[in-house]
Structure 1
Amino acid sequence: MKKFALLLLMCSGGFLLADGGWIYLKAVLAQQLLEHSWQQTLETTQPTRPWPWADTRVVARLTVPAQGIAHIVLAGDSGRTLAFGPGHTPGSAMPGEAGSVVISGHRDTHFRFLEQLQQGNEIDLQTARGHYRYRVRDVRILNIHRHKLASDPDSKLLYLVTCFPFDSVVSGGPLRYVVSAELIEV
């Protein structure tokens, strides 16, 4: 009976580890497929789907040279999209357009690096239409029940948004970690 209980505990533990690691594995594997799709987007100048059944498309590449970060950005910011990579918020501007660009990502995968960004760090955002460089202006923590990101049509800001706190056991919640960066070079 003790051997059976030990085997059951080991199997349960293995299942829980595999289940918990799945989101990280999916995030890493998806970035490989997304990178291929990004190359196709650059060649054709048309946003492409990373796999035939995808309900999103590749729209940009986000890099932070100082940290060695490079992520493919997808269209949309639903939980299903963010499981594969950062997502461009519908209704926000695309780089090169008037208004604020908003990109969201999960705090425990693709946007974990936001915690290390500092004022003055540079962020590159490339689309099929151009390359845009931003400089981090500030970092704020907002409660989504009390504050909204202001979208000024004359703005040239990039907002990178993720849930906060970074080490929270519970996902979601009302707090958001917001990095704002201003356009410095096209």
Structure 2
Amino acid sequence: MTAILTDMVKGGRAVTRVLLLAVCAFGLVLMAKGAVIPVKAGLAQILLERAFDASRVAGRPLRPWPWADTAPVARIGIARLGVERVVLSGGSGQAMAFGPTEMPMAKDSRVTIMAAHRDTHFAFLADAKVGDIVTVEPVKGQTRRYRITGFRVARWDQFAYPRDPARPLLGLVTCYPFDATERGPMRFIAWAEAL
């Protein structure tokens, strides 16, 4: 009887060890999957920078990877904040996963709207100030400079821009508030006039 109980305990320990190893292996797989996301994000930024440089040489937007549905159209920066971002074409949510996007506008518009996520590529807008200089280096054409003239918070469905501003206007748009963890209807807009 004692031998039977001893065998049962040994068998139970073996099953417990196997279960613990399986749980540990599963945890390691989950950790590896979680680590892939930041690695992919970092690699994407390197590829976007390379595509931007190649696009400047070619004088036209070039895709950062063969299956990309977007391409760099500009690079924006605020020197005071030490920030530079590659801006992508299209304005889609998929493109915004990789960087700010330039919203499609009428060709003769004197207004340029760029949008990005508040917790990644446009998080720096929380520290922007009136008077900051924003540089926009397009893939084709000369670098333009804008001065931030003000900020506005509006519901997404009440966002509006001047149809014919006196000077070319740049709007940088992101969700608001900056520290929110859920989606919301409010948008933060930094307006900047061309110098």
TM-score range (shorter-chain normalised) is 0.7 to 0.9
Is the partner of 1:85 in helix, strand or coil? coil
Correspondence for 1:47: 61
What is the CA-CA distance between 1:83 and the residue it aligns to?
A: 0.6
Within 2, Cα distance between the matches of 1:64 and 1:49? 25
> Can you give the 5+ residue segments of structure 1 that lack an aligned partner in the other structure?
none
Query: Residue type matched to 1:15 in 2?
Result: L
The structure having more radius of gyration, on CA atoms, is 2
Tell me, yes or no, if structure 1 residue 165 matches structure 2 residue 177. yes
Query: Residue type matched to 1:82 in 2?
Result: M
TM-score (norm 2): 0.79
Is the partner of 1:63 in helix, strand or coil? strand
Correspondence for 2:30: 15
TM-score (norm 1): 0.83
Within 1, Cα distance between the matches of 2:23 and 2:57? 52
Tell me, yes or no, if structure 1 residue 130 matches structure 2 residue 142. yes
Tell me, yes or no, if structure 1 residue 104 matches structure 2 residue 118. no
What is the CA-CA distance between 1:4 and the residue it aligns to?
A: 5.2
Within 1, Cα distance between the matches of 2:185 and 2:153? 10
Tell me, yes or no, if structure 1 residue 80 matches structure 2 residue 91. no
Tell me, yes or no, if structure 1 residue 89 matches structure 2 residue 100. no
Within 1, Cα distance between the matches of 2:90 and 2:35? 24
What is the CA-CA distance between 1:130 and the residue it aligns to?
A: 1.2
Greater helix fraction, Structure 1 or Structure 2: 2
Query: Residue type matched to 1:120 in 2?
Result: G
Query: Residue type matched to 2:66 in 1?
Result: P
> Can you give the 5+ residue segments of structure 2 that lack an aligned partner in the other structure?
1-15
Question: How many aligned positions are there?
Answer: 178
What is the CA-CA distance between 1:149 and the residue it aligns to?
A: 2.0
Could you report, residue by residue, the CA deviation over 1:77-111 in whole angstroms, capped at 9, with x for unpaired residues? 21110011110001266xxx542100000111111
Within 2, Cα distance between the matches of 1:126 and 1:177? 23
Identity %: 33
Could you report, residue by residue, the CA deviation over 1:4-58 in whole angstroms, capped at 9, with x for unpaired residues? 5798499559837954982x54443212101111111111111111111111111
CA contact 1:27–1:110 (8 Å) conserved in 2: no
Within 2, Cα distance between the matches of 1:89 and 1:131? 19
CA RMSD of aligned residues (A): 2.6
Query: Residue type matched to 2:71 in 1?
Result: R
